[in-house]
Amino acid sequence: MNILIKTHEEIEKMRIAGRLAAEVLEMIEPYVKPGISTGELDRICHNFMVNEQKTVPAPLNYGAAPGRPGFPKSICTSINHVVCHGIPSDKKMLKSGDMINIDITVIKDGYHGDTSKMFMVGDVQPFNQRLAKVTQECMYKGIDQVKPGARLSDIGRVIAHHAHNNHYSVVEEYCGHGIGRGFHEDPQVLHYEGYGDRNDCELKEGMIFTIEPMINAGKKGTKLLSDNWTAITKDRRPSAQWEHTILVTASGREVLTLRKEERT
């Protein structure tokens, strides 16, 4: 494991990238309505990033390798029982009652900002609203653990407790991650109690990583679709996710991807 401690100059660049990623989520909100396609949401975000922000959408072509195509779009759109990495499509229209996670990662000046939130489309069933709300609470409880001297495993412990208290399960196949010049750096940030003695570590000032719990209404198991990206719940019951990029500071933490609606 090679966890990079960011310099003051890098932290300043990460603050900028984080703010820009948050601004894409703020920009797209009024468009997330019944009848729009996820392909259109992708186009609006892509054009905003490239033309207005002058940022690079990190997902586009991410993960490409010989014989393996990269991610084909600029944002991830994950609806209802899609856990993460849903691919935007002009054929997929939002309808009243859907809930959708939009996950934005921008690159500015070589550094990444990564954040996602749940949007409610039209009238959403109370049990789905509750899943989204509890998942956001899980993320905030994880964020509250972050300070120098705490351990990485403290984050997953409080997230899993809150999810289980609400009779939900925690996805284990996908996790948070260090972030900086790299999209996915060390460490892996688990959202459950899975470290054992290995890969856990003490948090230190200057570390930057994401916390991005995926919480399921039913069982924790996921399945990868044949597009090799889209992850869904095995039991097809709904799943929710929220994500922020977090800096460990001397006294605690700074959320680099905070939106206006979250500032109190």
Which range, of 3-11, 55-63, 121-129, 146-154, touches ligand MF3 by CB under 6 A?
A: 55-63
The span of 37-45, 57-65, 147-155, 231-239 binding ligand MF3 (CB under 6 A) equals: 57-65
Report if residue 114 touches Co ion, rule: CB under 5 A. Answer: yes
Least distance CB 63 / ligand MF3 (angstroms):
5
Instruction: Determine if 210 is a binding residue for Co ion (CB under 5 A).
Output: yes
103 binds Co ion (CB under 5 A): yes
CA distance 49 to 20: 9
Close Cβ partners of 45 (under 8 Å, ≥ 6 residues apart): 24, 27, 28, 57, 74, 75, 102, 104
Question: Taking a C-beta distance cutoff of 8 angstroms, is the pair 220, 172 a contact?
Answer: yes
Q: Is 69 left (phi over 0), alpha (psi -120 to 50) or beta?
A: beta
Contacting range for ligand MF3; rule: CB under 6 A; set: 56-64, 136-144, 149-157, 196-204? 56-64
Q: What is the closest distance, in whole angstroms, from the C-beta atom of residue 229 to ligand MF3 in the complex?
A: 6
Q: Is 101 in the site for Co ion (CB under 5 A)?
A: no
Interface with ligand MF3 (CB under 6 A), residue total: 13
Residue with CB nearest ligand MF3?
A: 59
Token readout for 154 is: 């403290």
Least Å from the CB of residue 96 to Co ion: 26
Using the rule CB under 6 A, give the single segment among 59-67, 89-97, 125-133, 218-226 that binds ligand MF3.
59-67
* Residue 85 is a binding residue for ligand MF3 (CB under 6 A): yes
Ramachandran quadrant class, 67 (left: phi over 0; alpha: psi -120 to 50; beta: rest): left
We find the least distance from the C-beta atom of residue 116 to ligand MF3, in angstroms, to be 7
Does 117 bind ligand MF3 (CB under 6 A)? Our answer is: no
Sheet holding 176-178, edge to edge: 185-189, 176-178, 208-211, 244-248, 253-255
Closest CA to 239 of 264, 220, 263, 261: 220
* Beta carbons of 138 and 163 less than 8 angstroms apart: yes
Indicate whether 103 belongs to the interface with ligand MF3 (CB under 6 A). yes
Distance, in Å, from the CA atom of 142 to the CA atom of 211, rounded to the nearest integer, reads 7
State which of positions 228-257 bind Co ion (CB under 5 A). Answer: 243
Q: Is 76 in the site for ligand MF3 (CB under 6 A)?
A: yes
Two structure tokens written together for 49:
């990033």
